[in-house]
Amino acid sequence: MRMNRLARALAAVITAAFIALPPPGLAQQTAPSPSPAGPTPGPGALSVPFADPYPSTYTPYPSRPTLIRNATLLTAAGPAIHNGSILLQDGKIAAVGADVAAPAGAVVIDGRGKFVTPGIVDVHSHMGDYPAPAMQAHSDGNEATNPNTANVWAEHSVWPQDPQFPRALAGGVTTVQILPGSANLIGGRSAILKVVPARTVQDMKFPGARYGLKMACGENPKRVYQNRGPSTRMGNMAGYRAAWIAAEAYKRKWDAWNATHKGDPPQRDLTLETLAEALRGDIYVHMHCYRADEMAQVIDMSHEFGYKVRDFHHAIEAYKIADLLAKEGIAATMWADWGGFKMESLDSVRANIGLVDAAGARATIHSDDPQGIQHLNQEVAKAMFAARRVGLNVTEDTAVKWMTINPAYALGLDDKIGSLEAGKNADVVLWDGDPFSVYSHAEKVFVDGAQLYDRDDPAQTWRTDFELGYVKAAVRK
């Protein structure tokens, strides 16, 4: 793990030794390895599709027990706690309440006039696979060579030195899902990452997070493949269905072999393997889909093949079918107010998130943008006040969920992150004012209890390798 200045300073205090790299991933495999002699083949060579061949090597940065007190806590798990305290210890939230005692040696932060929220979770980002600066050499987000590239994994494109990462962290974002682009009907696997300084993407991977599968409706895939198809929305649907049919057959073949382990295992196919995992429910389907009518057809398709859509992304028209989304238990992930950039985004309304939430569906903000990700609190504010303007009674307690526990749910991580509750990972943001005011900033950001951003201590700001010599440290005041 790269030792940044912050880590170095903390290490000096607690004299924690850094391990250069955790043990190789193979040691963690549980796959059967009936190799009689010679060098042990890797699980890929043994056709074990359930392996985790690129495992997380994330370890939390060093932390000290930290108590924030006298703050307003927007917990995303109930009503706000005013003049409340929160204790971060050993990487977890140890206590939340009106009165929490500081253990000996704890850092105590006076939160008077300040707010605390869970770390923000963004389920739709392309940081690292469309990094800054935008260069031909950096255009790693769309494998636009085939309408179905379920075989690609976004993590294999992520550049950990993308200067967009530290800026997202400074906006209070602690967990992101990095997705392949939407050129393809089926774009590939997502990567769930912690927003932390790291030398390798494995060092950023959220331990235990399930993969997502990016799929895309509508204009993008049909535009990219006009010559070979799909070139129409009906072509899009035919493309997904053909892929699911093939995946279904592949899954059956593997299910049969797994039941007996007799004979040669079927040959692995990366494309079908990912799709089969989605059919099994082990990989969440995240589907880029703008129009209400298309979402409804995708829902029918999910019934046809027996899988679940976890989350519709960019769901501009979710408000038109919010009742259907609630009934199906499908989350909707939305912008506050983007629109007009193509026909399928024309019906964007700022009340979208509020209307979806009011209908009982999981409503989530997302950025899809390295600028927007830096102020998702502001985007939620726009959505919250827009909802109030149309008569919905949306409190800050509800709105804070749109950027924390609801996106955590969409990633299947709501048992670990997304709320201020004892036992959860200490991903916490201290804001210098109401996070739904345009004038507020994230002041301190903690990931697993480690303070990785401090607005008041610019000398410690995480600078990526790229910035060295190009972006003067003094500039980042």
Partner 1 sequence: MFGAALAALLAGGAVARAETVAIVGGTVYPVAGPKIANGTVVIHDSRIVAVGANVRPPAGARIIDARGKIVTPGLFNAYTQLGLDEIGAERSTHNDRAHDVVAADFRAWEGVFSRSAYIAATREDGITSVGVMPSGRFVAGQGAVLDLTDGVASEMLRRGPVGMVATVETNGFNGGDQDEATDEETAGPGGDVPPPASRAEAFAQLREVLDDARWYAAHRARYDAGASRALGASRAALEAMIPVTQGRQPLLLSANRVDDVDAAIRLAREENVRVVIVGGEEAWELAPRLAAAHVAVLAGAMNNIPQTFDMLAARQDNVTLLRRAGVQVALVGNGGGDEQVFNARNIRYEAGNAVAYGLSHDEALRAVTLGPATIFGVADHVGTLAPGMDANVVVWSGDPFEFSTNAEHVFVRGREYRDRSRQDELVDRYRHLPRKNN
Residue 132 found at the interface with partner 1 (CB under 8 A): yes
Contact range with partner 1 by CB under 8 A, out of 24-32, 39-47, 77-85, 373-381 = 373-381
Site string for partner 1, 138-167 (x = CB under 8 A): xx-xx--------------------xx--x
Q: Is 269 in the site for partner 1 (CB under 8 A)?
A: no
Least distance (Å) between residue 447 CB and partner 1: 20
**Whole-number minimum distance, CB 381 to partner 1, in Å?**
4
Using the 8-state DSSP alphabet, how is residue 237 labeled? H
CA distance 141 to 216: 14
CB of 220 to partner 1, least distance (A): 8
Residue 228, token pair as written in the block: 């070979």
Contacts of 170 (CB under 8 A, 6+ apart): 374, 442, 445, 453, 455, 461
Least distance to partner 1, CB of residue 136, Å: 6
Residues 400-439 that bind partner 1 (CB under 8 A): 436-439
Q: Helical H runs in 306-399?
A: 322-328, 352-358, 376-389, 396-399
Task: Tell me: does residue 272 bind partner 1 (CB under 8 A).
Answer: no
Please say whether the beta carbons of 149 and 186 come within 8 A.
Answer: yes
Residue numbers 32-71 binding partner 1 by CB under 8 A: none
Should residue 314 be labelled a site residue for partner 1 when binding is judged by CB under 8 A?
A: yes
Closest CA to 357 of 386, 347, 341, 337: 386
Min CB(412)–partner 1 separation in Å: 22
| Piece of 95-103, 204-212, 237-245, 367-375 that binds partner 1 (CB under 8 A) | 367-375
Phi-psi region at 306: left, alpha or beta (left = phi > 0; alpha = psi -120 to 50): left
Note whether 350 binds partner 1 by CB under 8 A.
yes
> Smallest gap, in angstroms, from Cβ of residue 337 to partner 1?
6
Closest approach of partner 1 to the CB of residue 134, in Å: 3
Strand, coil or helix: 125: strand
Size of the site for partner 1 (CB under 8 A): 71
CB 372 → partner 1: shortest distance, Å? 6
Q: Which of 348, 404, 406, 419 binds partner 1 (CB under 8 A)?
A: 348
Region of residue 60 (left: phi > 0; alpha: psi -120 to 50; beta: else):
beta
Determine contact, residues 87/102, Cβ cutoff 8 Å.
yes
Query: Is 226 among the residues that bind partner 1 (CB under 8 A)?
Result: no
Q: Where are the alpha helices (DSSP H) in 180-284?
A: 219-224, 233-260, 270-280
Residue type, 241: R
In the complex with partner 1, the residue whose CB is nearer, 288 or 444, is 288
Residue labelled with tokens 């990633």 = 411
Tell me the three state secondary structure of residue 82: strand
Residue 329 engages partner 1 in binding (rule: CB under 8 A)? no
Among 372, 407, 418, 449, binds partner 1 (CB under 8 A): 372
Instruction: Note whether 192 and 411 are within 8 A (CB).
Output: yes
Q: Which of 253/388 has CB closer to partner 1?
A: 388
Helix-helix angle 233-260:270-280, to 10 degrees: 80
Minimum CB separation of residue 343 from partner 1 in Å reads: 6
Nearer to partner 1, 174 or 440 (CB): 440
Give whichever of 38 and 469 is closer to partner 1, judged by the CB atom: 469
Q: Which stretch binds partner 1 (CB under 8 A): 11-19, 82-90, 268-276, 340-348?
A: 340-348
Count of alpha carbons within 13 Å of 435, Cβ hemisphere only? 36
Of 49 and 160, CB closest to partner 1: 160
Do the strands 284-288 and 309-313 form a parallel or antiparallel pair, or are they unpaired?
Answer: parallel
Among 10, 150, 173, 359, binds partner 1 (CB under 8 A): 359
Site for partner 1, residues 280 to 299, rule: CB under 8 A: 288
Residue 406 amino acid letter:
N
Which of the stretches 66-74, 79-87, 130-138, 239-247 binds partner 1 when contact is defined by CB under 8 A?
A: 130-138
Per CB under 8 A, which region of 79-87, 253-261, 376-384, 455-463 contacts partner 1? 376-384
Closest CA to 291 of 272, 270, 275, 313: 313
CB 194 within 8 A of CB 175: yes
Site for partner 1 in 70-89 (CB under 8 A): none
Beta strand pairing call for 186-189 and 212-216: antiparallel
Q: Report in angstroms the alpha-carbon separations of 336 from 233, 309, 318.
A: 26, 22, 12
Question: Which tokens in the block code for residue 331?
Answer: 């989350």
Q: Which stretch binds partner 1 (CB under 8 A): 4-12, 67-75, 103-111, 126-134?
A: 126-134
Q: Which is nearer to partner 1, 319 or 453 (CB)?
A: 319
